[in-house]
Amino acid sequence: MHEFSLMTGVLDAVEISARENNASKITEVKLVIGAMSEVLEEAMDFAFEALSPGTLAEGARLTMTKVSPKSRCLACGEEFEHDRLHFACPRCDSLATQLIAGKEMYIESMEIET
């Protein structure tokens, strides 16, 4: 479960930035998860429940937003969103496309109490 190591990184990052902002508590953490990232939301929830006690994020709400993959067509330059299975360019039907977004996982924002 690589979600545990991802969540460890998330908690480290939010805790550092919460302390820099003199927060006494983190109330919400918002993550963005690319549909191609292989990150399972349920596993992230589980990791959060397991790892957050004792940190500033204990009891915080974890919100995850899934973003669609996006590719660029190498034939015509079109950029388009698609699902996990369909990669063909909607403009020219080319299958020569390059994934430019959708594998990422990052912290979008967080809410704190001071």
Positions touching Zn ion (CB under 5 A) are: 73, 75-76, 78, 89, 91-92, 94
Contact 100, 68 (CB under 8 A): no
Q: For residue 101, give every residue at least 6 positions away whose Cβ sits within 8 Å of its Cβ, in sequence order, or none.
A: 34, 67, 69, 70
CB of residue 60 to Zn ion, shortest distance in Å: 43
Judged by CB, which is closer to Zn ion: 86, or 91? 91
Judged by CB, which is closer to Zn ion: 17, or 94? 94
Judged by CB, which is closer to Zn ion: 54, or 85? 85
**From CA 95, how far away is CA 112, in angstroms rounded?**
45
CB of residue 114 to Zn ion, shortest distance in Å: 50
CB of residue 99 to Zn ion, shortest distance in Å: 14
Could you count the other beta carbons within 10 Å of the beta carbon of residue 91?
Answer: 13
